[in-house]
A and B are shown apart, each in its own frame.
Chain A
Amino acid sequence: ETGVTQSPTHLIKTRGQQVTLRCSSQSGHNTVSWYQQALGQGPQFIFQYYREEENGRGNFPPRFSGLQFPNYSSELNVNALELDDSALYLCASSLAPSGRDEQFFGPGTRLTVL
């Protein structure tokens, strides 16, 4: 069974640029959630995708957007990067979007905005 994978591992961008992060969910999981983890903080929920539709969103501006593909993999796009966007971006997959289902995290993508 393959776990959650994310790419790239590290990324350095400059302010104003755009970035795309990728996530492959664990085998059999159809729900993907994205989180932002700033240094020394717990992860903060960005949004969740289920059946290729956004299925809930946290307190993040519209320049954070996403996609989910028919194979349940997902992308997180961030436009007009700001210095405060520097963080570890985590993807988590689960069997379904219900509260019962455990979320399993990938290793994350560390984004640095200069």
Chain B
Amino acid sequence: QKEVEQDPGPLSVPEGAIVSLNCTYSNSAFQYFMWYRQYSRKGPELLMYTYSSGNKEDGRFTAQVDKSSKYISLFIRDSQPSDSATYLCAMRNTGTASKLTFGTGTRLQVTL
């Protein structure tokens, strides 16, 4: 079993829809949770960064962390065609040399 599970999709939604992306994890030591956006053949771009449980909002993006359920989510409101990309969840613990552990990524397509 992988430490981080993420539905690979693809997920296709119409422009303007609310998108929900999710990851589950098994390692209770994870304390920092991130969402990265990756366009085809490019490096991941950091979208959201949260510590421990709770919500964080930034523009059209909202990240939620539920440590009791080992479940994290990213919501995208008013989705745009430019949001079409692969979304990677990532997490790590508090130690030094704290590597990021990624999900496989969910491919999102926002159609006109």
Q: Which residues of B contact A99 (CB under 8 A)?
A: 31-32, 92-96, 98
Nearest chain B residue, comparing its CB with the CB of A55: B97
SS of B interface (majority): loop
Residues of B within 8 A of A (CB): 4, 6, 8, 31-32, 34, 36, 41-46, 49, 51, 88, 90, 92-105
Q: CB within 8 Å of B: which of A62-106? A: 88, 90, 92, 97-100, 102-106
In the complex, whether A40 has a CB less than 8 A from a CB of chain B is: yes
Cross-chain contact B102 with A50 (CB below 8 angstroms): no
Task: Give the shortest distance, in Å, between A6 (CB) and chain B (any CB).
Answer: 8
Cross-chain contact B94 with A43 (CB below 8 angstroms): no
Cross-chain contact B46 with A107 (CB below 8 angstroms): no
**A90-B44, A105-B43, A108-B43 known; A42 and B99 CB under 8 Å?**
no
Cross-chain contact A105 with B99 (CB below 8 angstroms): no
CA distance A44 to B43 in the complex (A): 13
Q: List 13 A-B contacts (CB under 8 A).
A: A40-B8, A42-B103, A45-B99, A45-B101, A48-B97, A50-B97, A56-B96, A56-B98, A90-B43, A98-B98, A99-B94, A99-B95, A107-B43
